[in-house]
Amino acid sequence: MPNITRGDRASGLLAYLVGQSTREAHHHSNAHTNPHIVAGHDAIVHDAPAGELTMDDALDIANLLDMPRRLYGTRVTVPVKEWDDALGKKVKVGERDAHVWHASLSIKADEGPLSDAKWGDIARDFVDGMGFTDADGAGSCRWVAIRHGESAGGNDHIHIAVSLVREDGEKARVHDDFRRAQRLTNELEHKYGLTVLASREQDKSTLRGVTPAELERARRDGDRVTQRDELRRRLRSSLAVATDEVSFIDQCRQHRVLVRPRFDKDNRDRVVGYSAAIVPEVIDGVRQAPIWFAGSKLDRNLGLGQLREQWQSDPPTEGDAVVFWKRRGRVEKQLEDMPSSLGKRPTSDEIRQLNGKYGETVLPDFSGVPQTASMSPAEASAFYARLSMLTERAVHGPLAETSNELAQEAQPPRRGRRGQPRVQRGDAAYSARLANRATSTSARTGWTAVFRQASRTAGAVADARRERAALVEAQRLAASTTEANAAWERWAQSMGWNDPARQGPAPVQPQTQTRAPRRGRDTDRGQGR
């Protein structure tokens, strides 16, 4: 918690929160049960029914919520921006109405359901803390908090709808609302004895959650996960074997990910960021428009600045990569050489790249006493994402979950602080002694060693969470890691590697050619999109 969105239809939002049609459409996964009010503005709570809400009730509440705006005619808008290829950035092309502010507050499934009374107290404190209420009443916004059962993941939650036109007809203040909501949520977690998100305690950024609109799109398109979550996995998987900017761009292509650079506003030969999108589907013979996400908005460690620090790039290598960014060109051009499907087995080149990359910083000395993990959480997250792409395919299972948990741990501070490294890197102490072992093209030897190191890193992160009393988060990571280990063993057996997770690494073998990826007609729908 929280997740914040803006819109212009109070009736549409309330119908979603209450409507029977939603319950019927989602009965198998995310049914809305017993929608009812737990708190709200006096004008709404006074007239609303105390029990389960009907669709008529939802429309009545929407009318009450929207009354000040209709009375005064106040317009609240947000800019509409579109990508400009010539400028290499988004530019404002208009405005849209956005007078309805919506936030969902949730707790983890293992915290158990809260009472209506406690959710009501939390909602009132949250709305007060966001500045939507005024002691005199004239400067207050109308709002309502609705509870309608657990989410698909079993999380107890509420939805808060706020009209951004106050009782006096003035606009409510929403500047920096996301950051203010994060800080306020941290205070409420402490106040009400809820699980405190460790990243907030450590002044870290967080992985942004999916929005209700993204969930609805995934449901409508028949996808098992949202594009945001799938794109995170593909970009992390691309990063797992990328050693520089150029190889990352190529790996994105191999993962059927479109990329477009963001240029410096004064210099078209300097790339300062990028956006990415999953290849859109073709419907009725027409390629749909891609949905773009900035890499840094998906995961701070996927931002171009963070990636360059991981690769220890310098200005000359960054300059050399510009031609490859430009070569990707428009979407139509990128699609010309895009693979028709995602690979199902690791190629010999990929194994060589992976082992070579982590051979310099990762592999422990198996001949002696086990060493402390030297793979950073960000590196381990990328490796687990790569395994997830190869083994879990369309389903985001324990490997993808472990990747997400480690990515959250690896998030850098929200604002750079002097004296602190912005990127965690692995320990290079073993590099010289283990170089030959690491760069072996024996799939069993190399992948087993790297997986063990990733597993050790996950264990070290779980231990660190326990030390800072983040017991629920530690248990969640430990459970996903245990399931990930089992998934690894099943995949290794399917590859004919004879349970490598239970053995020490085999002696280094001469270079061997692995089988090429099997060709198929997989589409992105079935690969998580």
Supply 118's token pair: 């406690």
**Which comes out higher in pLDDT, residue 37 or 444?**
37
Choose from 26-35, 355-364, 395-404 the range with maximum mean pLDDT. 395-404
Which pLDDT band, with edges at 50, 70 and 90, does 142 fall under? very high
Please give, one letter per residue, the 3-state secondary structure of 98-139: CCEEEEEEECCHHHCCCCHHHHHHHHHHHHHHCCCCCCCCCC
| Residue 409 confidence (pLDDT) | 83
Q: What is the mean pLDDT of the chain?
A: 77
Which of 60-69, 188-197, 210-219, 335-344 has the highest mean predicted lDDT (pLDDT)?
A: 60-69
- pLDDT at residue 200 in the model: 54
Q: What is the pLDDT of residues 251-306, one digit of tens each?
A: 898 899 999 998 888 888 899 999 999 988 888 888 888 889 999 889 888 999 98
H or E segment to which residue 160 belongs: strand 157-163
pLDDT at 456: 86
Q: Which residues, at least 6 apart from 24, have a Cβ–Cβ distance to it below 8 Å?
A: none
pTM of the model: 0.60
Instruction: Please report the pLDDT score of residue 88 as a whole number.
Output: 65
Examine the pLDDT at 71 and tell me if it is beyond 70: yes
Q: Distance (Å, rounded) from C-alpha 32 to C-alpha 20?
A: 8
Residue 216, number of CB atoms within 10 A of its CB: 15
Lowest mean pLDDT of 54-68, 110-124, 483-497, name the range.
483-497
* pLDDT, greater one: 146 or 266: 146
421 confidence band (pLDDT: 50, 70, 90): very low
pLDDT of residue 427: 38
Confidence of residue 420 (pLDDT cuts 50, 70, 90): very low
Residue 516 pLDDT > 60, yes or no? no
Smallest CA-to-CA distance from 497 within 378, 391, 406, 399 is with 391
| Confidence (pLDDT) at 436 | 33
Q: What is the pLDDT of residues 446-489, one digit of tens each?
A: 677 778 888 888 888 888 888 777 777 888 899 999 999 998 88
pLDDT at residue 362, as a whole number: 34
- Residue 98 scores a pLDDT above 90: yes
- Model confidence band, residue 34 (pLDDT cutoffs 50, 70, 90): confident
Q: What are phi and psi of 278, to 5 degrees?
A: -75, 145
13 falls in which pLDDT band (50, 70, 90)?
Answer: very high
Positive or negative torsion for Cα 161, 164, 169, 173: positive
Find tokens 């001949």 and name the residue: 367
pLDDT of 17 strictly over 60: yes
Region 364-390 average pLDDT: 67
Across the range 223-248, mean pLDDT stands at 89
Q: Grade residue 444 by pLDDT with cuts at 50, 70 and 90.
A: low
Min mean pLDDT across 7-21, 229-243, 348-362 is at 348-362
Largest Cα–Cα distance in the chain?
A: 80
CA distance 435 to 446: 11
**Which of these, 148, 133, 117, lies nearest to 35 by C-alpha position?**
148
pLDDT at 202: 52
* Exposure letters 257-293 (e unless 16+ CB within 10 A, then b): bbbbbbbeeeeeeebebbbbbbbbeeeeeeeeebbbb
